[in-house]
Chain A
Amino acid sequence: MSPVLRLLMRRLGISLIVLIGVSMLIFAIARIIPGDPARIALGPNATPEQVTNLRAEMHLDEPLVLQYGYFLVDISRGDLGTSLYTNRPVTLDIAQFLPATLELVLVAGIIMVALGLPLGILAARHRGRWPDHLVRIFSLLTVSAPSFVWAVILMLLFAFYLPIFPIAGRISDIYEIERTTGFLLIDTLLAGNFTAFGDAFRHLILPAVALALSGIGQAARLTRANMVETYDKPYIEMAQAYGFFPSRIARIYAFKPSLIPSLTIIGLDFAAMLGNAFLVEAVFAWPGLSRYGVAVILRKDLNAIMGTVLIIALTFLIVNIIVDLLIAFLNPRIRHSTRAN
């Protein structure tokens, strides 16, 4: 078995254990709710009989371990229960709202990598001089405000004062796009409607940048720190002695070994962005999972809350596996090793 494949198997195994742990944690959170979940679900006008019936249906009178067992069986069948807020299966709701959030987070992730890594390289190449100081101040500033503050500031500057970008939403109302994947950037292209694609893209820029900002700062900082360490290595000195261009040394010899720790932080930043999407979506009225999440939380809609958290945790686990595989693939010591460790 190839080492990368073996690593994949190992990671999948660990992820499964972690996922079971996550389900326990979510179950525990759902059970610390003050009051009777059945009564909350039925509202104040329910008769005692209705409450008794629903308690039986929700297995609330049985021991906690059994209740958790039922929960585990349900989720392993892909059944997250019915939402009290929309009266539809939670899986359907999530399938409807998740693509908008994923699209936002993925584009933010691309922006983060596309800006964060080059900024880090720039700072490391000119370490101790003004580009380095500028990048340092920029990184510290971007991680110093929650993304909803950046969202508000970007919106004020680039949607109100300089009306370059639309204020809110995912796409202008005039476009009717048939839903196939739920990703508007893909759906508009599938429909062959390029003006709609441009419109959706313009809607995406401000929320994605607001979401990416703190990640850009962190990625730049970490890349710089790792590269500065690499610059002290003898092989860099040798490359310099050979008279290679500084830009080539930076890109190839100093950057490549630093990419691996940077990728790890990018995986973590992705998690942060899945959470921060809640904030950015609220500012830009983005019709994603967050709006659904906040709505179901305000209604104490337990099934929907548990389902949403579970799906977000699952998404994050998958991203982390991808990041780990990418690292294994990029790192020749793992790629060519006989033992994956």
Chain B
Amino acid sequence: MIRAFRILAANPLSMVGVILVALVVLAAIFAPWIAPFPTHNGSVVDFAFANRAPSARNWMGTDLVGRDIFSRILYAYQISLVLGVVVLAIAAPVGTIFGLLAGYLGGWTESILMRIVDVFLSIPPLVLAIAMMGVLEPTLTNAMLAVTVMWWPWYARLVYAIARSEREEGYVLAAEVIGAPTSHIAFREILPNCLPAIITKMTLDMGFVIIIASSLSFLGLGVQPPTPDLGSMVAEGARYLPDSWWLTVFPGLAILIAVFGFNLMGDGLREVLGVDE
């Protein structure tokens, strides 16, 4: 752990990533205390201050009904992070079990499971999520569901590739020879060797889940107003370019900063854990 942190710290870019992620997470957790206008996460209106450029009062300006954009971005981070954690907490284990079974058992199980994975992977990820949100009501829970459904196959494929090469390794053969049960071999012997790759992918994916979720709400298919969401904030503001640039630029940069942080950190983790690209 300490050694890992040292390697991470030795790489300035990874350190920037850790700091960015820490800032975003802290901002989300402490949003109610940091936000200059903590009530602006709802449908408050303050037309006296509507559509104002950045100032000392509103660092990132105000939106069309006078809400403080900086405050709304902090709250939007809460939603993005919760969504990311929930999606990965479901998609990663489901995909891992799928991939382990297909990779270790082989034969018919492998063919059937991996064909199912192929089907999911043959629809472009965002299109699958868009189609699901098209028939479901646009709520946070459904957005999580849609993103999870498009996400788990990637873990299945990753774990499958590792498990398939591990199944020929000596330690697996040894376990088979002494008659260890299949579940023991899959979960106790092979799984630990997949963990570095899974953890790296989860870190990088936090950023990509944020991208996909904001893309859904950008199209009006995700979290609905007045709940603050980075994607819908960009979409709302895009109509008022170039005059009211702060409406789009700050939420857009907020996405960039958070995802960049997770990417830098994931990239550093990859080196620490020795995972191939």
Please list the residues of chain A having a beta carbon within 8 angstroms of any beta carbon in chain B: 14, 17-19, 21-22, 24-26, 29-30, 32-34, 136-137, 140-141, 143-146, 148-149, 152-153, 155-156, 160-161, 221-222, 225, 271-272, 274-276, 278-279, 282-283, 293-294, 296-298, 300, 302, 305, 308-309, 312-313, 316-317, 320
Partner of A152, one of B119, B234, B267: B234
Q: Which of B118, B124, B219 contacts A21 (CB 8 A)?
A: B118
Q: Is B242 an interface residue, CB under 8 A from the partner?
A: yes
Are A316 and B136 interface neighbours, CB within 8 A?
no
Since A29-B132, A308-B131 are in contact, a sample of 7 more A-B pairs with Cβ atoms closer than 8 Å, ordered by chain A residue number, is: A14-B118, A21-B122, A29-B135, A140-B13, A144-B263, A313-B124, A317-B122
Interface residue stretch chosen among B38-46, B55-63, B86-94, B252-260: B252-260
Contacts of A320 in B (CB 8 A): 122
B116 in the interface, Cβ–Cβ < 8 Å? yes
Interface centre among B133, B211, B234, B248 (most CB of A within 10 A): B211
Output the residue of A19, A271, A317 with the most chain B CB within 10 A. Answer: A271
Q: Assess the A22–B119 pair: CB atoms within 8 A.
A: yes
Kindly list chain B residues whose C-beta atoms are within 8 Å of the C-beta of A316.
122-124
Q: Chain B residues near A18: list those with CB within 8 A.
A: 115, 118-119, 122
A297 touches B134 (CB 8 A): yes
B241 within 8 A of A: yes
Main secondary structure of the interface of B (DSSP, over half): helix
Q: Could you mark each residue 117-158 of chain B with 1 if its beta carbon is under 8 Å from any beta carbon of chain A, else 0? A: 011101111111011111111000000000000000000000
Kindly identify which residue among A140, A272, A296 contacts B124, using a CB–CB cutoff of 8 Å. Answer: A272
Q: Tell me which residues across on chain B come within 8 A of A279, comparing CB atoms.
A: 126, 215, 218-219
Please pick, from A22, A161, A221, the residue contacting B123 in the complex, using a CB distance under 8 A.
A22
Q: Which residues of A contact B223 (CB under 8 A)?
A: none
Q: Is the Cβ of A294 less than 8 Å from the Cβ of B219?
A: yes
Q: Which of A144, A274, A283, A300 is the one whose CB lies under 8 Å from B259?
A: A144
Q: Evaluate contact between B259 and A145: CB separation under 8 angstroms.
A: yes
Instruction: Contact check, B214 vs A146: say whether CB atoms are below 8 A apart.
Output: yes
B215 proximity list for chain A (CB < 8 A): 146, 148, 276, 278-279
Question: Among A140, A272, A276, A296, which residue has the most Cβ atoms of chain B within 10 A?
Answer: A140
Work out how many contacts link A and B, with CB atoms closer than 8 A.
147
A145 to B256, CA, bound (A): 5
**Contacting pair B134 A300 (CB below 8 A):** yes
Question: Which residues from chain B contact A32 at a C-beta distance below 8 Å?
Answer: 135-136
Tell me, rounded to whole Å, the shortest Cβ–Cβ distance linking B90 to chain A.
17
Contact for B238 among A14, A152, A274, A305, CB less than 8 A: A152
Q: Is B124 in contact with A275, judged by CB distance below 8 angstroms?
A: yes
Q: Which of A143, A160, A294 contacts B242 (CB 8 A)?
A: A160
Cross-chain contact of B131 among A29, A145, A276 (Cβ < 8 A): A29
A144 vs B20: C-alpha distance when bound (angstroms): 13
Among the interface residues B131, B134, B136, B241, which one has the most CB atoms of the partner chain A within 10 A?
B134
B231 pairs with A146, CB closer than 8 A: yes
Partner of B115, one of A17, A33, A145, A225: A17
